[in-house]
Every structure is written in structure tokens, then in C-alpha cells.
Structure 1
Amino acid sequence: MDNVNNMPFLWGSATASYQCEGAWNEDGKGLGEWDFFSHTSNKNINHVDGDVSCDFYHRYEEDIRMMKEGGQNTYRFSLSWSRIIPTGIGEVNEEGIDFYNRVIDCCLENGIEPNVTLFHYDLPFTLACKGGWLNNDMAEWFCKYAKICFERFGDRVKIWATVNEPHFYSYCVNMLGNYPPNRSLDVQSYMQFQYNLMRASALAVRTYRQMGYDGIIGAVHDGGVVELDPATEHPDDVFRYADFFANRMILAPALQGQLPPEMDEILEKLGVSLYRSPNDVEEFRDGKVDFIGLNVYCREYVTDWHGGELAVSANNKGGSSKKVEGKCIAPLFESARDSNVPRNKWGREILPGCMYSTIMDVHERYDAPRIFITENGHGAYEQPDADGMIHDDDRIELLGQFIEHMMRAKRDGARVEGYYLWSTMDLYSWINGYEKRYGLVHIDFENNLERTPKKSWYWYRDLISKYQEQEG
């Protein structure tokens, strides 16, 4: 890409390193926190791991070729910190650098713009043993890692993201307790995690600019617009509390260069205090992003707190469980149920219209930033027919609606510049394992990881072509 300020609309797909690479202990890679968790923890409720996954590490050329054949002009992927610096701090693993150089070069040779995320959940185990993202030194360690990545790949990578979903990552680690190190209902750690992640993001953004590269750098948020049950009795307060809990600790530092002004007041209500850097005002001011990536799947549908105890819920068992997503954040707000909105097998609302409301909320409240939809997908159980084809018509229908709502937001003035479908191929879906499939390409995990494009792959190829023709 010659000019990141004058580029065509980007149409691509996305993966994350631990979820797709495999090769967990090859070519000098260090142990990751997810490696340790998957191999040892009784919290690994589905008894699966990412040791091999779809083996992108050895089959990246085939996968990138299929992206090109599918009309995609960009690919969002993450780097494995422990593949590049095995212990998180110190000596660089040149074999890990070589792998990512090959991936980046292969993308460019196929006309695919790499969009690279520095951190997508998979922390080096050595740093996890030092307290992980509760350790305030993590921001400086992350910045040193980021600088190495900029030095080694910045001549070719023009789109960078610092951290993926710091809110949802912290929620899973510290509230749900389904991601390692599996703390439950720990509001103090939930807030400290987000603070340290966003401070790390700010330091990396500042460093990237100081190094003088001609690309853009942003952060990725699991954009969940807050919407209120019409019966809510205190709508202004409930919106403010829920928006702070889900969005503001990420969007305010990233897009406004400051911690949320309402932070101290709401943290006091939650009984939480942050351990802060003495220089964080300047650090956040200098760490505003060039763009925000939004991973759009659902909304935050909430109402007044009705006196219940602190509680959260998720479903990592799929169809074998009746659990649905929800939360009660005492004494601020709680989730509401909308009987008119269906839910998927994992208890999540299916509401494509939240794409429009999420984008426009960020556009209108945060001074019209550049936006990429860095993830949007539909997880499902799938079986091929007699000819080996996956007829994923539900995915096609739902994602078509999501994309139309995105394009409507773009027509209404939002600066949406790219869309990344989750995911490029079937892969390890974190704690859910492999039965929950998101990919455009079917992976036969029982037959040499054979790749077969799904019906949605052909649909997405044709949709990209249609929009590119319209764009001229």
C-alpha cells in the first residue's frame, strides 16, 4: 500500500495466532499461557487445545492463496509474542521472525494487505507467572516487544493494531473465569487489566510514531453498543454505568487520549481503585490511535439493577447447555432479556442491526474516527453433505445483513474503511474448541486438515466483487 490515507475499501478475513498456527513448540517458540492452560487446567472444560489447530504455520501459503482466489485484498492476523520472544523479555527468536516475514511477504505477493495485531490473548507463560496484565510493568515489556515487531516488519506492514479486545479479554479472565488464569467475579482485576492493557497500547502507539513509520496504528475493541430495555426506570444512569463497564475504559483512552472522566466516581461505587502510572496523563495523551477496530457480534442490552448479587454468565458448551450471556453488575445495572431477539446455540443474541448502532455510536460520540470492522462472524455446528460441501446458508443470510447495516452506516457518514470476516478458516475457538465453526473454509480435522471452501466462501467472493464494482 503506497498511501494509507488513500486506499480502497479493504475486504478480508481474520484469524489469531494461537487459534490457527499450531506448531506450539516448534522452531524456538516459547511456552504460552494458553499452552499451559490447555495442557494442564481442569478449567479446559471441552478438553481441547491449539497444539495443531488448522496448522497455518505450515500451510499459510495455501491459506493465503485461497484468500486471493476469494477476492480478499487484506488479511488480519496476530503475532505470537512467545514465538518472537520466547520468555516475553530478552532474546529474540529469529526463527519466529523468519516465519512472520514469510507470511507478510506471501500476503504482499498475493496482493493482500497485512493488518497485524500485536497481542490477541496469548501471553508468554513466563510473563503470566509474573502476574500477567495485573503487573504494571507489563506496559513497558509490551512496548519493547512492539518496538521489535515494528523494526522487523514495519517496512512492509502499514496497518497495525496494538491489543485485541482488552475489555472482553479482561471480562473472560477476571469475571467469567473461563480464560486463563481463570479469576471469577474479580472486579478489581477486571478494571486493572483494562488499564494496563490500554496503557501498553498507548506506549506502543507513541513508540510507533517516534520511529517515523508511514503506516497507521490502532486498537481493537469488542464494540457492544449499550441499548436499554424500554422499562428502565433510570435510563441515563443505567446507560452511563453500562457504557463505562463495557466500552469507556477502552474507547476513551484510544480515541480521546484520556481515562474516562467518570471513572473515579463509578469505580468508587464498585469498590475498586486502580494502581496507576504517575505519568499516565501524558502517556494516554500521546497514545491516541489512528483508527479503532470494532469486533461486532452483539449489543449490551441492559436495565436497572434490581438488587441481585454480582453475577455473570456465558455458554461454552453450546447446544448441550441452556445458559445465555448476561450479567448483574451490582449495584449499577443488569442484563435484560428481549424475547423478540433470537439467540444462537451459545446463548448470544442474533441481532445484525447492532452493526449500524455500534458504528454510529462510536462515530457520533468520538469525533468521527477511522473505523475498521476487524471481526464479524457467525459460529455454528456444521456437517458437509455427501459431496463435501458446507451449505452454511444461515451464515450467508446473517452476515449479509450485518454487512448491509455496515454499508448503511458508511452511507450515513461513518468513516468505515474495511471489513474482516471472522474467520478465514475453521480454527480453535478458544475454550469452545473446534465444534463451533466460523470459517469461510471448512477444515477436516479428522482428515489431514483438508481445506474445502464453504458456500459462504463463494458468496463472500461475489459480494466483494459486487461492492468493488460499485466503488469503481
Structure 2
Amino acid sequence: MSEKFLWGSATAAYQCEGAWDADGKGLGEWDVFSHGNPLNINGATGDVSCDFYHRYEEDIDLMKASGQNTYRFSISWARIIPEGIGAVNQQGIDFYNRVIDYCLLNGIEPNVTLFHYDLPNALAEQGGWANRTIVDAFAEYARVCFKAFGDRVKLWVTINELRYYAYCSNIVGNYPPNHKQDFQRYFTVIYHEVLASAKAVKIYKSLELKGEIGIAHDSCNVEVDTITKNPERVKLIAENFYNNLILDTAINGVLPASLILQLQEFGIDTSFMKFDDTFDFREGTIDFLGLNVYNRYYVTDSSDEPTEVFHNNKGAGSSMKEGIRIKGWFENSFDLTTQRNLWGREIYPQCMYDTLFDIKNKYGDIPVYITENGHGCYETADENGYVEDDERIAMMQAYIDKMLEAKSEGCNVKGYYAWSTMDLYSWVNGYEKRYGLVRVDFDDKRLPRYPKKSFYWYKELVSSII
């Protein structure tokens, strides 16, 4: 793997591939959810999406044209092992071999994620990540992928956004299996994710493949509002909720003791944590950390109001600001001077700098890749299909400036991935919320691609730094 700084972009399998039932692919949890669940509020599906499955060469050609030297994408578990365990689908292996080989042919380093939200439905029906049996199922799936692609793929991510996936699935309830405020399940799911990730890392290292393996964690900078009465207590509780179960185990190989006590005091049954797992954590520490950086977690004391989740999947149709109140623990504070996107999420470039230094101060010099950073918005193309997305450019430039500032001051940042390569399915937000550097015209069955203004901005930025 090259030591040069990596500049690229990212996608995820269900969000861009389409071909949802093609060539032996198994049924996925999101296939079932998007096809009939009333909680799929926009009615959109990933059945076709960008049709990356058939258009990958065109999309990789565009990456090359913009000067990108890496591409982060995920593998669909159900495309490789249709039932989640058991028989391997050779046609799925063949597809990802084609993608990997075409990347390498064009000088683009593949960065491959094993799990990005899309669970095989057969496993979902058995309890998904809340069922401990998934740990070994994931480990075996990882082994299949390492053996099939590990000779060429030198950067691996086990699981994308372990916390945010568990949060949306079990606290917000907008992602399948749509549990709401189920804190028992939330912590059980994260624990099984970190254990499965550690087992996969252990397998990867046992195969003596020449590469690196890590996880991708969502924005992790916890900042305590100055009005907070018990700032040290609030910060520790919030760090345990957002970060420590994932980062302490993945980087240091140990469970945070304060978290276990906190969960027990909160009434969480911690019997899902087994003593023997400590050996897997110790032997399955990561080589690098991926960070998906969008916002900070701005927190203060919990009020006496009931636990409540604030989440907006309606965009401009809602004024709700993203956040949570957990009675007895903490709640999110809202800085009225900070800009937010139309989905209620804070736009706060300083969090890029703060997050990188948080990691350096807590975990030392571990290599970090910014595995996602981008801006979702509504867009209107001109008569030629061109989008002048100045808002995206300004936002991303501000975050990149903060990343480069942290890098110049000693943070071990190795790469940056724009989210996303092209417009794609944005989960329950459907297709109106767009992130791409390339516009996809979803109203045209041919799905033509149109590079946006941000595409050319990114090309210039990369060429000026590389």
C-alpha cells in the first residue's frame, strides 16, 4: 500500500449497487424494509439506485478523472453469502473481483468495508446483531472475503459506524428492525459488533495478509456546554454512550470499566458481556481508525423531562434539531449560533480538528483516515444537468482545512474520503437528500452521470495537495 496521502470518495453497497436480487444475491434486511414497511416514509428503495452493479466502470473512470487515488466501498454480505451463513455465492465474489481489479487498473486503492448497515435478512429474522450467534457468522463471512480479495485489497474496515447503526436501529427506530428507545438492545448490539469486529481482525492477522484493518466510527467529539452543573460526570457518561465501548475495545483491547458500572446502575442487564471475550478484544486490536466526521456531540445535564429522541428524516418538512435526552444521564445542548443542515444536524467544522486531537490525546499516534465527510442538501440542475453546489464546496473546504491544520500539528491523518462518490440512496431519506460529487439523474432510466461543481473543485484541491 502506498504511503502517499489518500484522497478519495465513498459509497455503500445497498445505497448504490442496485441489482438487489441479481446473480444469486440473497434477500437483505433493507430489501424487506424498503419494500413494504410503513416506516419507510419516503417510499424509496435501493432496488436500482445508481445501478453501480452494472455501471461501476463508468463511476471508477470518473473517480480517476477527478484525481482520486482511493475508493471506499462496502461489500453486500447477502451478495457473498445469501443466507448470512453457509453457501458462498461465486457470482458475488466475481462482481467484487471485477470492481477491485478495475480500481487497481486505474491506480485507485480499494478501501473495503465488510458491513455497512445491510444485514442478510435470514440473520435479521434470527435477531440480527442482538443475537450472539451473529458474531461467529460475521467472522466467517470476513474470512471468506479476506481469502477472496485480500491479495489485492490492502485497506479493510470491518464495520461502518457501529454506534450510529445501533442508534438508528434501536434508539431512533428509523432503521430496521425499528426498535425505539431500547437501550438494552442498543448496548447489546454494539457489544456484539465490537466482538465480531475483533474476531475478524484476529482472523485477518492470522492469515498474514499484507494490509491494514480497522473500523469506521462516526463523529466522536464530545463537548460539554459551559452551563453544565456536573461537567465531568456528564462528559464521562456521554463518552461511554457514544464512544468508549467501541474505541477502547478496538484500539486498546479492553472494555471500559466505568461503562459496565454505568450500565448496571441504569438497569441494563450486562450478562451479554462474557469474560472469555476479553481475549478476543486483546488479540483483535485495529491497525487504523476510520472516522466519519460530520458533527460534535454537544451535551449538558439531563433535565427531569422523560427520555426523548430528536431525529429528522423529513428534511425541510421538519424543524427538528438532531439530538437526544436520556433522563438521568445527559441531553444534547443546542448552540443557536451554529449552522445546521436541513435535516437538523449541526455543521461545525471545528469538530474535525477537535475529534482528531481527542483521538491523539486518548489513543496516541494511531493512524486515522477520514472515511466520510460530506454535505447533504436539496439540489436543482440546470438544463445541461449541471449542479452548482457552492454550499457543499464551502462546507467541505472548511472541514478539510481543519483536518489539514490538525495534520500539520501532529495528528496522524492518512487519508480523506468525500461522502459520496455520486448521488445515491440515502436510507430513509430516499433520493432527495443528495451528497454526491457527481449528480445522478434518477428520473432518467439511463441514470446518466453529471459531474457537479464540487467534482471539479475536489479535482483541483487534490491536484494542488498531491
Q: Is the structural similarity TM-score above 0.5?
A: yes
Q: Any idea what the Cα deviations from partners look like across 1:384-408, whole Å, max 9, x if unmatched?
A: 1233210000100110010000001
| 2:308 equivalent in structure 1 | 311
SS in 2 for 1:63: helix
1:408 aligns with 2:413: no
User: Deviation above 2 Å: which 4+ runs of structure 1?
Assistant: none
SS in 2 for 1:262: helix
After superposition, residues 27-38 of structure 1 pair within 5 angstroms as: 27-38=23-34
Q: Any idea what the Cα deviations from partners look like across 1:288-342, whole Å, max 9, x if unmatched?
A: 1000000000010010111121111110000011111011112110011111101
Q: Any idea what the Cα deviations from partners look like across 1:323-362, whole Å, max 9, x if unmatched?
A: 1101111211001111110111000111111110011101
After superposition, residues 330-409 of structure 1 pair within 5 angstroms as: 330-409=327-406
Looking at structure 2, the residues matched to 269 and 414 of structure 1 have their Cα atoms a distance apart, in angstroms, of 36
Q: CA deviation at 1:224?
A: 2.5
| 1:174 equivalent in structure 2 | 170
Looking at structure 2, the residues matched to 65 and 34 of structure 1 have their Cα atoms a distance apart, in angstroms, of 29
1:297 aligns with 2:288: no
CA contact (8 A) 1:269 1:331 kept: no
Q: CA deviation at 1:220?
A: 0.6
1:429 aligns with 2:430: no
CA contact (8 A) 1:31 1:82 kept: yes
Amino acid of the structure 1 residue aligned with 2:149:
F
Q: Any idea what the Cα deviations from partners look like across 1:245-276, whole Å, max 9, x if unmatched?
A: 01111111111111112112110232112212
| 1:241 equivalent in structure 2 | 237
| 1:222 equivalent in structure 2 | 218
| 2:18 equivalent in structure 1 | 22
| 2:40 equivalent in structure 1 | 44
1:454 aligns with 2:456: no
CA contact (8 A) 1:134 1:192 kept: yes
| 1:125 equivalent in structure 2 | 121
1:110 aligns with 2:106: yes
| 1:88 equivalent in structure 2 | 84
| 2:152 equivalent in structure 1 | 156
SS in 2 for 1:380: coil
CA contact (8 A) 1:174 1:189 kept: yes
Looking at structure 1, the residues matched to 196 and 110 of structure 2 have their Cα atoms a distance apart, in angstroms, of 22
| 1:419 equivalent in structure 2 | 416
Looking at structure 2, the residues matched to 292 and 439 of structure 1 have their Cα atoms a distance apart, in angstroms, of 24
SS in 1 for 2:257: coil
| 1:197 equivalent in structure 2 | 193
Looking at structure 1, the residues matched to 386 and 33 of structure 2 have their Cα atoms a distance apart, in angstroms, of 34
After superposition, residues 269-284 of structure 1 pair within 5 angstroms as: 269-274=265-270, 275-284=272-281
Q: CA deviation at 1:14?
A: 0.1
Give the TM-score of the pair, scaled to structure 1: 0.97
RMSD value, Cα: 0.8
Amino acid of the structure 1 residue aligned with 2:297:
E
Q: CA deviation at 1:214?
A: 0.8
Looking at structure 2, the residues matched to 277 and 120 of structure 1 have their Cα atoms a distance apart, in angstroms, of 26
Q: 1:327 aligns with which of 320, 324, 328?
A: 324
Q: Any idea what the Cα deviations from partners look like across 1:4-39, whole Å, max 9, x if unmatched?
A: xxx100000000000000000000000000000001
Q: Any idea what the Cα deviations from partners look like across 1:126-154, whole Å, max 9, x if unmatched?
A: 00011100011111110000000000000
Amino acid of the structure 2 residue aligned with 1:462:
E
Amino acid of the structure 1 residue aligned with 2:44:
V
SS in 1 for 2:175: coil
CA contact (8 A) 1:302 1:334 kept: yes
Give the number of aligned pairs. 464
| 1:464 equivalent in structure 2 | 462
